[in-house]
């Protein structure tokens, strides 16, 4: 499981890197205002693309099960149904974003001094959304087939290109925030088209047809595809909608807090990202072994995954706690004392509780793999609902302020963890009663 997860973790590290490169270059070259704009735009982009990534992830669970069961006929139908369904959703989403951009930005309570920069950045960045879909779809398909390396290769190429283009367009040609957006879009085009061509040419067993008659035939599995895709998509979008609501509340505290939050969240997500990708590998492992009816391997995999994830999160918590100040200085000039102070405060609180999010990622992956994707949605609602409720209740109180937002996040993680454990005990008890 660790060997399979390794390339996935490295791939997500690269993805975080080229997101962080945008932040570093924009923050250093264009200032705190541009950094705040890109940070808010990143929250919006993450929320909307999470719908697509969630759908690809849900479809990936079905692919893994069919591959483990060696049911190639069903796999063909699942690929056709899922690609056509998610592709249509992607196109519709793109249209909605361009038509409703101003109302969306108004909901986010963007300060006037950075509104224009964020609007320009969002307009350009969303030209790449279809290629984000392509990359993620074929990435999850290849992972389901046991190949987690190819997606890493294309992401590496894309990340390197993004860094070069960022330096050329922002520092060289001085295109400003527009240059950072264009660099990211070009990188997304390369990774999306590249992995699509590779899969088609090198993996003939993963080719599928989009002919109308084939799409019609695939309706037999469309219900299951929509169920898994929708549940995972709702889970991802609820997660990021909650984050977006928190971003709106953070924005109400002004540009300094926005900039601190933008930088700290990047560091935060970078720190626990390996635990997230390990959980995705864990989910594929469980799904494939359920398809192959190897229940003992499933049980052993669960125990191993909890041990590895907890050990990793404890190590990272220590590193983040003691290195928070140095990490903030990578994004912000040392003269911005208030921004750095707020960022350190955030990282000290979140970093102390990474075990909570590490175990929660495992719950998400487990329930997708055992055919209960709706439970992942429930856990996400509990985690994010707690976060939003506590933040909006306590943060406006002057004696508490923004620190309430920071504390609400780990509280939500642990409430969801407890719920996941209680539901597992309920499932086991119910299964035992059925056997008797």
pLDDT confidence of residue 229 = 80
Query: How many domains does the chain fold into?
Result: 1
Of the candidates 309, 289, 284, the one whose C-alpha atom is nearest the C-alpha of residue 299 is: 289
DSSP per residue, 379-426: HHHHHHHHHHHHHHHHTTSTTTTTHHHHHHHHHHHHHHHHHHHHHHHH
Average pLDDT over residues 10-39: 75
| Nearest Cα to Cα of residue 149 among 5, 1, 308, 305 | 5
Q: d(Cα 301, Cα 287) in Å, to the nearest integer?
A: 11
Which among 16-25, 155-164, 380-389 has the top mean pLDDT? 380-389
DSSP secondary-structure letter at 176? T
Exposure b/e, 127-139, CB count within 10 A at least 16 = b: bbbbbbbbbbbbb
Q: Is the pLDDT of residue 429 over 80?
A: yes
pLDDT value, residue 156: 87
pLDDT digit string, tens, across residues 201-241: 988 888 888 888 888 888 878 888 888 788 877 877 777 77
194 pLDDT above the threshold of 80 = yes
Shortest CA distance to 349 belongs to which of 256, 252, 260? 260
Share of the chain above pLDDT 90, in %: 27
- Other C-beta atoms closer than 10 Å to the C-beta of 88 total 10
151: pLDDT strictly greater than 80 = yes
Domain ranges, residue 19: 2-435
The Cα–Cα gap between 184 and 190 comes to 10
Specify the pTM. Answer: 0.76
The pLDDT score that the predictor gives to residue 5 is 67
| N-to-C CA span, the chain | 33
């Amino acid at each position: 499981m660790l060997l399979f997860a390794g390339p996935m973790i490295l791939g997500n590290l690269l993805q975080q890197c080229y997101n962080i490169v945008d932040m570093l270059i924009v923050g250093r070259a264009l200032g705190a205002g541009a950094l705040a704009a890109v940070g808010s735009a990143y929250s919006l982009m993450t929320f909307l693309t999470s719908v697509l990534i969630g759908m690809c992830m849900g479809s990936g669970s079905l692919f893994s099960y069919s591959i483990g069961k060696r049911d190639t006929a069903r796999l063909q139908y699942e690929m056709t149904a899922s690609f056509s369904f998610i592709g249509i959703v992607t196109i519709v989403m793109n249209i909605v974003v361009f038509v409703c951009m101003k109302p969306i930005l108004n909901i986010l309570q963007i300060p006037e001094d950075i509104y224009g920069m964020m609007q320009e950045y969002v307009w350009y960045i969303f030209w790449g959304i279809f290629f984000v879909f392509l990359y993620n779809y074929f990435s999850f398909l290849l992972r389901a087939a046991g190949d987690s390396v190819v997606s890493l290769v294309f992401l590496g190429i894309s990340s390197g290109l993004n860094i070069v283009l960022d330096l050329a367009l922002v520092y060289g040609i001085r295109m400003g925030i527009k240059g950072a957006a264009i660099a990211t879009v070009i990188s997304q085009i390369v990774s999306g088209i590249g992995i699509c061509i590779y899969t088609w040419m090198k993996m003939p067993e993963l080719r599928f047809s989009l002919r109308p008659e084939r799409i019609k035939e695939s309706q037999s599995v469309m219900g299951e595809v929509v169920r898994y895709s929708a549940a995972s998509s709702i889970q991802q979008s609820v997660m990021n909608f909650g984050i977006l609501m928190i971003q709106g509340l953070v924005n109400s505290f002004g540009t300094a807090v926005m900039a601190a939050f933008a930088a700290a969240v990047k560091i935060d997500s970078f720190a626990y990202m390996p635990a997230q990708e390990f959980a995705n590998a864990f989910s594929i492992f469980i799904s494939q072994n359920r398809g192959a009816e190897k229940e003992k391997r499933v049980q052993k995999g669960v125990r191993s995954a909890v041990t590895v994830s907890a050990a990793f999160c404890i190590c990272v918590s220590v590193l983040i706690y003691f290195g928070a100040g140095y990490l903030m200085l990578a994004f912000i000039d040392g003269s911005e004392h208030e921004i750095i102070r707020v960022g350190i405060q955030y990282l000290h609180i979140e970093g102390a509780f990474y075990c909570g999010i590490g175990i929660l990622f495992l719950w998400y992956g487990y329930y997708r793999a055992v055919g209960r994707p709706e439970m992942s949605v429930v856990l996400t609602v509990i985690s994010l609902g707690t976060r939003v409720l506590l933040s909006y209740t306590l943060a406006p109180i002057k004696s508490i302020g923004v620190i309430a937002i920071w504390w609400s996040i780990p509280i939500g993680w642990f409430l969801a963890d407890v719920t996941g454990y209680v539901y597992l005990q309920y499932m086991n008890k119910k299964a035992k009663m059925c056997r008797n």
